[in-house]
Chain A
């Protein structure tokens, strides 16, 4: 280990996250590979190591014999400062080698607030931030992850972006890059060829022009790049690679357990939910595969808890079967299963009791809106009776805490809808009073609200976000209406949601803003410890960017949207149709009940969804 590093590690918090050396890390001989890839996660080790996408891709890429993929995370502030002072560049955990030694630097960007961290990690590696300032073929700097469904805010910095699920396309890109490197292609040559791979977006091959009002006028694809980039999906979830011998961190991470994926996509179609649209269509694993992978994971890691992971796990058709198969193995070994997301409507006490034998902490539900009318408008098909029934069963079963999540500022929302939230909380309290098995233990009902953020590729992509003052007015209104002592109310800060709204629907001009915020110290901004609104406010001024143009402006039906170049499979016309149904407070059926022809089925070979 580097002597300078040895000196600083004892001084920083949780140094084990900066050393590598964990069980099951993948070590190769660098002399034996053609490409070295630094897989960068623009957040801390604890967050990144809890990310299932990163785990999958680390495994998939390292299966390529000619490539060695290593992990890089963002250092916490204390470590960052020590590294800068000691002149230690950002390094990869497996080998300890500086990122600047690598051929490929790839980022997984799951959320917009990580953008400044991406820039900082490039900077700490000594790599020029802008694609245009890196004329050579090596290093290739690319990214994937949910945020890339609107690639424009980060377009200046990345050589290419991968849209959709990475298992296949990442390897195709790396294989092409390996050839390019061996054959000595120019960067441009490589990028032009890479743009022909389905799912690859090369920002420099698209020219943007703007109207006088600042909206996008046209996007011109150059050198044969596709007009629209179609996302990639994995069709057969049973045969796709899944890591069952993953790295076991030697220090605590956020999700200290194993994750088994049940299915991708979501049948629901909640209109505010970007994930529900961009991951379509639903593709499930068979219960036997789920159980086999889950058991192998537990065996190979020594963890005693497995999470059955999906966007809406209780919608998994074979949930009981998969649980039974796993529990036969788990129970004698004191292992437990957990579900991250429960829906109040098909909540099954039976499953819950089987899953959480010992721990009876809190339950979480997300009704999202305070009235049936508004829940219909956002297509969140949860009825108050269902929620109360679920709570009743839970209280009878000994649970004594419920967390309820809501959004404020949803399209069509009235003050009545806002106050409705406190009425739901009261009903839940009433249900507890009538059904609690042990009233002496008391009950904790927590209501949390966040500010609605309109997201690309959702039916609400055209909406204006409510101004921050309006959100705060709604917060006050709700706070005043919550009277019960056992109900706690937390609300999410409006400022981060406002910035997120600017970034998520940003165009290419936003790149300068992100760079300016980074330049003035922006870093790890998904953390309250580091987020500073003033930095953004200052950068809006300096860059001459009006944030309201991005956050608070309603887009026209025919406006060319910066992310229209990305085809996630769902037709824009379908999204508009869903938006109109929202304004009529009309529910749409879920994919299992009836296909509404969103277009995503065309991503499948057979052209039909098996929802």
Chain B
């Protein structure tokens, strides 16, 4: 038995695979690569595999974290990454696994990139007002929670916002809290729609870049 953690990316066409489908996909990937997963005990045994911070469908990431328990006791980690990558669907790639020393719950911050598309507007003209908007001291947004609709000020949970032109589009990067509270990057668009709809993009696409601990160290 061997507990391992690995980082993987989910980009391109793979961003549309749902969290649940991804779990099933990985389960099969481990089997066809020859690294069977240990199963939980009990009435309804399932493979021991967890992916931290489920990604929304349509969002990409180059910093996903997955914890698994293998049946075997030892493994050549570099070879394992090669073997897994050989049988993964397009857009999903893993890095060599390692033995985790932290708990996934220690992830606190996420660096995320957004590409904003505007129809019939010049991106360059939006950069300054967008910068001004995201540095407001209050960023109230109403969102659905388990307890119904609620207003949250996301300003304390969104930091280091940069905004630049990206061809015809606007490229935003921000660091958002993903643990108490969880700020879905889509709130960055929602907050525009609700407070300054003129600045809201017609379409936005997000990619996770890196995950950090409370102390802003890269999470391993």
Q: Which residues of A are found within 8 Å of B203, using beta-carbon distances?
A: 6-7
Q: Which residues of A are found within 8 Å of B29, using beta-carbon distances?
A: 23, 302
Counting CB contacts under 8 A, is A10 at the interface?
yes
Whether the Cβ atoms of B36 and A301 lie closer than 8 Å is: no
Whether the Cβ atoms of A16 and B87 lie closer than 8 Å is: no
Residue of B nearest to A4 (CB): B203
A16-B16, A250-B17 are known contacts. Are A333 and B36 too (CB-CB below 8 A)? yes
Q: Which residues of A are found within 8 Å of B57, using beta-carbon distances?
A: 10, 15-16
Counting CB contacts under 8 A, is B160 at the interface?
no
Contact with A along B6-47 (1 / 0, CB 8 A): 000000111011100110110111111000100100000000
Contact with A along B68-98 (1 / 0, CB 8 A): 0000000000000000000111110000000
In the docked arrangement, what's the CA distance between A592 and B52, Å? Answer: 58
Residue of A nearest to B14 (CB): A21
Residue from B58, B91, B117 in contact with A15 in the complex, judged by beta carbons closer than 8 Å: B58
Whether the Cβ atoms of A21 and B13 lie closer than 8 Å is: yes
In the docked arrangement, what's the CA distance between A251 and B89, Å? Answer: 11
A15-B57, A302-B32 are known contacts. Are A23 and B21 too (CB-CB below 8 A)? no
Q: Which residues of A are found within 8 Å of B87, using beta-carbon distances?
A: 23, 302
Residue of B nearest to A25 (CB): B90
Contact with A along B44-61 (1 / 0, CB 8 A): 000000000000011000
In the docked arrangement, what's the CA distance between A334 and B13, Å? Answer: 31
Q: Which of A6, A300, A301, A334 has the most CB of B within 10 A?
A: A6
Whether the Cβ atoms of B58 and A252 lie closer than 8 Å is: no
A250-B25, A302-B27 are known contacts. Are A23 and B18 too (CB-CB below 8 A)? no
Whether the Cβ atoms of A19 and B13 lie closer than 8 Å is: yes
In A1-28, the 8 Å CB interface with B consists of: 1, 3, 6-7, 9-10, 14-16, 18-23, 25
Whether the Cβ atoms of A250 and B12 lie closer than 8 Å is: no
Whether the Cβ atoms of A10 and B21 lie closer than 8 Å is: no
Smallest CB separation, A13 vs chain B (Å): 10
Whether the Cβ atoms of A252 and B28 lie closer than 8 Å is: no
A7-B203, A15-B58 are known contacts. Are A250 and B14 too (CB-CB below 8 A)? yes
Residue from B13, B16, B28, B90 in contact with A301 in the complex, judged by beta carbons closer than 8 Å: B28
Smallest CB separation, B206 vs chain A (Å): 10
Q: Which residues of B are found within 8 Å of A18, using beta-carbon distances?
A: 16
Q: Which residues of A are found within 8 Å of B21, using beta-carbon distances?
A: 16, 250-252
Q: Which of B16, B30, B32, B39 has the most CB of A within 10 A?
A: B16
Q: Which of A20, A25, A251 has the most CB of B within 10 A?
A: A251
Smallest CB separation, A259 vs chain B (Å): 16
Residue of A nearest to B13 (CB): A21
In B151-203, the 8 Å CB interface with A consists of: 203
Q: Which of A3, A15, A252, A303 has the most CB of B within 10 A?
A: A15
Whether the Cβ atoms of A299 and B32 lie closer than 8 Å is: yes
Q: Residues of B within 8 Å of A, CB-based: how many?
A: 28
Counting CB contacts under 8 A, is B205 at the interface?
yes
Counting CB contacts under 8 A, is A565 at the interface?
no
Whether the Cβ atoms of B14 and A302 lie closer than 8 Å is: no
Q: Which residues of A are found within 8 Å of B22, using beta-carbon distances?
A: 250
Q: Which residues of B are found within 8 Å of A9, using beta-carbon distances?
A: 16, 58
Counting CB contacts under 8 A, is A248 at the interface?
yes
Smallest CB separation, B32 vs chain A (Å): 4
In the docked arrangement, what's the CA distance between A25 and B18, Å? Answer: 19
Whether the Cβ atoms of A19 and B27 lie closer than 8 Å is: no
Q: How many CB-defined contacts (below 8 Å) exist between A and B? A: 69
Counting CB contacts under 8 A, is A304 at the interface?
yes
Q: Which of A22, A23, A25 has the most CB of B within 10 A?
A: A23
In the docked arrangement, what's the CA distance between A274 and B39, Å? Answer: 45
Residue from B27, B30, B36, B89 in contact with A23 in the complex, judged by beta carbons closer than 8 Å: B89
Q: Which residues of A are found within 8 Å of B25, using beta-carbon distances?
A: 248, 250
Residue of B nearest to A248 (CB): B28
Residue from A15, A19, A302, A333 in contact with B28 in the complex, judged by beta carbons closer than 8 Å: A302
Whether the Cβ atoms of A6 and B205 lie closer than 8 Å is: yes
Smallest CB separation, B189 vs chain A (Å): 12
Residue of B nearest to A14 (CB): B18
Q: Which of A9, A19, A300, A302 has the most CB of B within 10 A?
A: A302
Q: Which residues of B are found within 8 Å of A6, using beta-carbon distances?
A: 203, 205
Residue of B nearest to A93 (CB): B13
In the docked arrangement, what's the CA distance between A278 and B25, Å? Answer: 38
Q: Which of B24, B32, B203 has the most CB of A within 10 A?
A: B32
Q: Which residues of A are found within 8 Å of B31, using beta-carbon distances?
A: 302, 304
In the docked arrangement, what's the CA distance between A214 and B169, Å? Answer: 64
Q: Which residues of B are found within 8 Å of A14, using beta-carbon distances?
A: 18
Whether the Cβ atoms of A252 and B24 lie closer than 8 Å is: yes
Whether the Cβ atoms of A251 and B32 lie closer than 8 Å is: no
Q: Which residues of B are found within 8 Å of A301, using beta-carbon distances?
A: 28, 32
Smallest CB separation, B71 vs chain A (Å): 11
Smallest CB separation, B49 vs chain A (Å): 13
Smallest CB separation, A492 vs chain B (Å): 31
Q: Which residues of B are found within 8 Å of A333, using beta-carbon distances?
A: 36
Q: Which residues of B are found within 8 Å of A22, using beta-carbon distances?
A: 89-90
In A219-269, the 8 Å CB interface with B consists of: 248, 250-252
In A293-351, the 8 Å CB interface with B consists of: 299-304, 333-334
Residue of A nearest to B21 (CB): A251
Q: Which residues of B are found within 8 Å of A334, using beta-carbon distances?
A: 39
Smallest CB separation, B120 vs chain A (Å): 15
Q: Which residues of A are found within 8 Å of B117, using beta-carbon distances?
A: 3, 7
Q: Which residues of A are found within 8 Å of B28, using beta-carbon distances?
A: 248, 301-303
Whether the Cβ atoms of A15 and B32 lie closer than 8 Å is: no
Smallest CB separation, B200 vs chain A (Å): 14
Smallest CB separation, A82 vs chain B (Å): 13
In the docked arrangement, what's the CA distance between A18 and B58, Å? Answer: 13
In the docked arrangement, what's the CA distance between A250 and B29, Å? Answer: 11
In the docked arrangement, what's the CA distance between A303 and B27, Å? Answer: 9
Q: Which of B12, B29, B36, B90 has the most CB of A within 10 A?
A: B90
In the docked arrangement, what's the CA distance between A252 and B19, Å? Answer: 12
Smallest CB separation, B132 vs chain A (Å): 27
In the docked arrangement, what's the CA distance between A333 and B31, Å? Answer: 9
Whether the Cβ atoms of B58 and A20 lie closer than 8 Å is: no
Q: Which residues of A are found within 8 Å of B89, using beta-carbon distances?
A: 21-23, 248, 250
Residue of B nearest to A19 (CB): B13
In the docked arrangement, what's the CA distance between A6 and B15, Å? Answer: 10
Smallest CB separation, B23 vs chain A (Å): 11
Whether the Cβ atoms of A23 and B88 lie closer than 8 Å is: yes
Residue of B nearest to A304 (CB): B31
In the docked arrangement, what's the CA distance between A3 and B203, Å? Answer: 10
A interface residues (Cβ-Cβ under 8 A, vs B): 1, 3, 6-7, 9-10, 14-16, 18-23, 25, 248, 250-252, 299-304, 333-334
29 residue pairs A–B, Cβ–Cβ below 8 Å: A1-B13, A3-B117, A7-B117, A9-B16, A10-B16, A10-B57, A10-B58, A15-B58, A16-B17, A16-B18, A18-B16, A19-B16, A20-B90, A21-B89, A248-B25, A248-B32, A248-B89, A250-B17, A250-B21, A250-B22, A251-B21, A252-B24, A299-B32, A302-B27, A302-B28, A302-B87, A304-B31, A333-B36, A334-B39
Q: Give 13 A-B pairs besides A252-B24, A304-B31 with Cβ atoms closer than 8 angstroms.
A: A1-B13, A6-B203, A15-B57, A21-B13, A21-B14, A22-B89, A23-B88, A251-B18, A301-B28, A302-B27, A302-B87, A303-B28, A333-B36
Interface pairs A-B: 8 shortest CB-CB? A302-B28, A21-B13, A302-B31, A10-B58, A21-B90, A302-B32, A15-B16, A19-B13
